[in-house]
Structure 1
């Protein structure tokens, strides 16, 4: 791996970044939201007359005002049918108006001269909500007789997807030498981006301008177009720096729509910045999946069949991304990294009285890797077979690609990889064979030490049918790149200019990424999610570079009076073989303004990265404190373009995965009150979770699906961390008789498991 610096870092580390709250417009007003303090109930009274008359208040809006304007929120979509019909996804209103369905659901907005005046006005609001029974547990939501959240979603089940061959699985289980079954839960978590949710809205000549944290311009713009009925050319979205996204910065939140309407009605800009607790109760959440899985093996340890039964919690309404990713990613990862002849699966989506759920970093990928890899270790424990030998025996061989995925809702295949080599090199990277000596040292110190691994394959890319990007040659002698995916730590400002500089053979310093998202020629393309931007936007920019050089070649041939094929191109200049005369690319661009500008649209690639992660943990049996002592991650993310950025993505994913392993979860009481809505109550991962003895490396197997041979890496850390660390924790606890344990591995839960095993 090679390591280079990021050109964004000086700006971001010296406080010169420009986030949404750094945007202030002349004459702007401020928004404050009234929110429900009940998880479920009927709105009996919502009286805001006194709030409207409060000092400094310019406007108060409820759902009646938004409905009168004809505005609405985007309904969830599913591109394929379910077991018994399409996704039941009623459009969710911007504000609650008849019933509230989660704590923090907005009821109204106050627009005032200052935030303080808006908050004072909220104190005058008269709200009466008649409580209804809350539905908190996903399995309970589907139980007969459970309170119903929506008339349009009978039984609280908006969608059910089944995949595989249940008859083949039943036959395999009937003849299997071993059957292993596990029940697991991936707790609901709060994504908690560093930058709170915020927005600044203004209107100019009927054009809506929105500044907001976003992962991509097209998705947010399209949601605003749908909501407002405006044509696309009258909606502009801006985001220069985004302080974290993780999948929850892609949609038009209700707050954005409310302040957009208020700004139009008042003829003045409106700004809103949420508090941290507001962000925690109103941002889309992640995870929230209950899983059961069963694996059948023959006497030698070959995997014969695998069944999955999932319930995925969507929160109060089906959101735009949560339903699709919970189903699609589960189906395409159902076999994990292994050859398994028979698969049977069911994914049931449910609604509960919690905040809506979206695709949070990994989006059901970590859950499927967790289910499969925990089963493999449990199979080894129950059968006495070696867990590494089981993986060697069943891993998809290197000569099997493209490897078809019969469980996928749409035709799909693993494009490339070498799982056996990944396994062997990853084990060597982790010094797996040296573990017994380290365990003996820990035992001598009275500590429990365990080791665990996870071999996984994940989907990356896709999302939209195509992506567009552009290159423009500016009058000042520089090159500007245009694309619609917005970085939130991925390093687009570094890697995209590097890619183009290599193809144009000019200095990277001459090339920069445009951060004015709506002023460039690129108009379409998915955002920075799904581990896709390098292979998608990067590949399009490479093609732009190729076409720009081809255009320049034609011009150079005319000016040098030779055939285009008689020109050599190197170091940013064309040279005539006949006369040895040269003409530089940037000279051509300066002499022919706009002639080399290029816009390209290409189909969005999709592929399947893989990885082998190994974790070692030590547990103090007296306190239950578990600590990671060593971690190794070997990832196949295709061709590595910038090693620094790859390592940063893996580190970030690991920290979010480890946060979930060791404590992150949303806790609700039986009435649906969210009990962990502040940093005083909600566990957040810290830097000391990962030890100094952490080794990261890459096995570069090029993907045939894109120009760069790249695969995704942004979610690999979360996918590997959950199963690798939990397998290590179970390995450490096993000598004390603990056979079952699930996340989170908090000290109390680990200590209690040891006490229960000893009783």
Structure 2
């Protein structure tokens, strides 16, 4: 099903400043909150002198870790559905404000509530923390040394999870007999989510019911997280997230600030609002990536892959977040073999604690990193063995006839559902004019430039998550139809595509249908948020099921009113017609005659699919300055059934730019004391429009058999493909100059330095 594009319904509101973001909500009598944050990465809290702050003008309350602990408000405990070498994930149940110790710069120490934000900020500066510095664990190498200080006494060795996967014996035997063995070790630096909308929240109590406004990707995960840290029941929470200015994974969970605000509002009996500055958002938002990826590939004499062994180290920061451990374990398990048929795949995954900000999901959530290490490894294997990199891929890819392709890398039954890697490969090479590259390289060389071309063939999991997704359809008094879903949009175009999808099914104009995603005034709905590229295939399919149920209800009611059998009714363009008569009844009129009688709540199991793609990038490097220009990018994606091509292309371009931002500039920098060095956009380079001057996108592929629409997730595909593709292109340009290794980000200085080092 491909829908015509009539423009995005959201855009007039959002582009004219009429959006309703978290900071736009205000309540009568609200007070203002400001957080005091730790300026040391690791220290014992010997005391917090809050007397002057409490006595300051306008101050209504000052909360510390002791208050949070007394109320039972915690950070929440992360969980994993798999066990490691020594059991379950090791984690801690800490108060939402630091108590006893601070463990990263920016960790909230205290909350000040006052009549105005300025008064709260002035009072926060009067609090005197007595902090005794402790040994700092600034990064993963330091965390894994025998003499490293423990970040949590309950977690020995600073390793909160250690897991082996795959048949280690079979892998070892394959490597022993392999004539070719190639290894890479790559760094994927920490990144900021950097949503356009800084973090903000507003909390209010009405009796024992908490209202919370905050940016979120979905009400259901937010509700579950809030229940876990406060002990509130589902009927004690009304959660509000209307417009969300970017999410990218870092807005998928409860932050400690939210629960502190909830307690403050209860303590003073008034609404409490907090709006973070941009620098505070950078400091306190959970970060992404932070991985060291080792991988080793065994090949036979003809170039066939025999075994692949991984060694994944994932930086969790000072506390395992709700999503950080989950994505750092499950996604590597599902992407360990890449797009290739490899007899023996496995390795080790370790989750490591450091004195840095906690890590969460970030666009792609370790999927881009796994595609990166596998595809960099394939290119390196070709470079070292002399095999052609395209033919090496073609020889080893999973053939279309082998789908569904069962994975042996994960403890849970998982199979790639569908795909056509050979077709992706051929179409991308043709569109990118791969065969014509040698001439373009020679021309660039004549101008003194280094030209490189790179590719990546990948498959990734999308969907999953909750066991059930629900969608409700309700008719309003004005004759409009409302779709209620659990996911909250943050730029994907849900308000446009969901009404279009249902409008085509019901034969109704889309402008008579509206979407409410994750709204407190919707019926109680279960389901996933907008994460894992799951929304269209999960809640879109469930929307279609809800439409089917509504039409079935309506047919029976219309038959009664028209005094015919249901089988005697035809339905087209929103109208039931009694065959052989002039009697008819529209769906809209029927809904008006039976108020509430056509409302439905549908649910379906949360589906999973496996989108795939083949991307090609071409770059040119000035060896005198290290400046790298991305000349062209080709993206051929199997995203199953494409419902709205324009929105899908927008998702791919957004994902590409986010991935390319990591390749060419983005990295959160820390010093040896775990002090953040990139605390503003002056230090942290965000991608700009000229980063991707030309992109050629082809959509389509094999419909997924796992959901009614046949859709596969696409929101993260651009990022998954961009990392390996662009870095392979950079390395293709540099390798002839003797550069054997380069980690992201490929900034001009790093490229120039690599070239100088290669000269000896």
Q: Using structure 1 for the length normalisation, give the TM-score.
A: 0.99
Q: Which residue of 1 aligns with 2:300?
A: 298
* Counterparts of 1:429 and 1:204, CA distance in 2: 60
Q: Which residue of 2 aligns with 1:315?
A: 317
SS of match in other structure, 2:684: coil
The one-character-per-residue Cα deviations of 1:296-347 (angstroms, maximum 9, x if unpaired) are 1111111110000011000001110100110000011000000000112110
Q: Which residue of 2 aligns with 1:699?
A: 700
* Counterparts of 1:409 and 1:32, CA distance in 2: 45
SS of match in other structure, 1:288: strand
SS of match in other structure, 1:158: strand
SS of match in other structure, 1:221: helix
The one-character-per-residue Cα deviations of 1:583-623 (angstroms, maximum 9, x if unpaired) are 11111111111111000111000011001111000000000
Stretch deviating more after TM superposition (504-513 or 117-126):
117-126
Q: Which residue of 1 aligns with 2:603?
A: 601
Q: Which residue of 2 aligns with 1:756?
A: 757
Indicate whether 1:739 and 2:740 are aligned: yes
* Change beyond 3 A, Cα 1:566–1:358: same
Stretch deviating more after TM superposition (170-179 or 220-229):
220-229
The one-character-per-residue Cα deviations of 1:18-50 (angstroms, maximum 9, x if unpaired) are 101110111111000000000011112211100
* Counterparts of 1:515 and 1:128, CA distance in 2: 45
Indicate whether 1:412 and 2:414 are aligned: yes
C-alpha contact 2:638 2:699 (8 A) present in aligned 1: yes
The one-character-per-residue Cα deviations of 1:639-693 (angstroms, maximum 9, x if unpaired) are 00011111111111111111111111111111111111111111211111101x2
Q: Which residue of 2 aligns with 1:55?
A: 57
* Counterparts of 1:536 and 1:143, CA distance in 2: 44
In the TM superposition, residue 142 of structure 1 has moved relative to its aligned partner by 1.9
* Counterparts of 2:547 and 2:709, CA distance in 1: 13
SS of match in other structure, 1:628: strand
Which residue, out of 36, 60, 73, partners 1:71?
73
The one-character-per-residue Cα deviations of 1:248-300 (angstroms, maximum 9, x if unpaired) are 11211111111111111111111100111111111110000101100011111
Which residue, out of 5, 11, 26, partners 2:28?
26
Q: Which residue of 2 aligns with 1:109?
A: 111
In the TM superposition, residue 83 of structure 1 has moved relative to its aligned partner by 2.0
Which residue, out of 610, 617, 641, partners 1:615?
617
SS of match in other structure, 2:235: helix
Q: Which residue of 1 aligns with 2:588?
A: 586
C-alpha contact 2:485 2:518 (8 A) present in aligned 1: no
* Change beyond 3 A, Cα 1:262–1:684: same
C-alpha contact 2:489 2:517 (8 A) present in aligned 1: no
In the TM superposition, residue 213 of structure 1 has moved relative to its aligned partner by 0.2
**Which residues of structure 2 form unaligned runs of 5+?**
none
Q: Which residue of 2 aligns with 1:499?
A: 501
C-alpha contact 1:451 1:728 (8 A) present in aligned 2: yes
C-alpha contact 2:38 2:102 (8 A) present in aligned 1: yes
Q: Which residue of 2 aligns with 1:163?
A: 165
In the TM superposition, residue 410 of structure 1 has moved relative to its aligned partner by 1.1
Q: Using structure 2 for the length normalisation, give the TM-score.
A: 0.98
Over aligned residues, Cα RMSD in angstroms? 1.1
Number of residue pairs the alignment of both structures matches:
758
The one-character-per-residue Cα deviations of 1:142-195 (angstroms, maximum 9, x if unpaired) are 222211111111111111121111111111111112111001010011111110
Aligned ranges 1:93-492 → 2 under 5 Å: 93-492=95-494
* Counterparts of 1:68 and 1:737, CA distance in 2: 61
SS of match in other structure, 2:585: strand
* Counterparts of 1:521 and 1:20, CA distance in 2: 21
Q: Which residue of 1 aligns with 2:666?
A: 664
SS of match in other structure, 1:370: helix
* Counterparts of 1:230 and 1:326, CA distance in 2: 29
In the TM superposition, residue 516 of structure 1 has moved relative to its aligned partner by 7.0
**Which residues of structure 1 form unaligned runs of 5+?**
none
* Counterparts of 1:650 and 1:523, CA distance in 2: 29
In the TM superposition, residue 580 of structure 1 has moved relative to its aligned partner by 4.4
C-alpha contact 2:419 2:701 (8 A) present in aligned 1: no
C-alpha contact 1:75 1:90 (8 A) present in aligned 2: yes
Q: Which residue of 1 aligns with 2:720?
A: 719
C-alpha contact 2:313 2:349 (8 A) present in aligned 1: yes
In the TM superposition, residue 368 of structure 1 has moved relative to its aligned partner by 0.6
The one-character-per-residue Cα deviations of 1:379-418 (angstroms, maximum 9, x if unpaired) are 1101111100011111100111110011123111000111
C-alpha contact 2:456 2:725 (8 A) present in aligned 1: yes
* Counterparts of 2:518 and 2:418, CA distance in 1: 37
In the TM superposition, residue 140 of structure 1 has moved relative to its aligned partner by 2.5
SS of match in other structure, 1:514: strand
* Counterparts of 2:6 and 2:250, CA distance in 1: 29
* Counterparts of 2:408 and 2:95, CA distance in 1: 38
* Counterparts of 2:499 and 2:435, CA distance in 1: 43
* Counterparts of 1:65 and 1:383, CA distance in 2: 63
Aligned ranges 1:497-646 → 2 under 5 Å: 497-514=499-516, 517-646=519-648
Stretch deviating more after TM superposition (218-227 or 747-756):
218-227
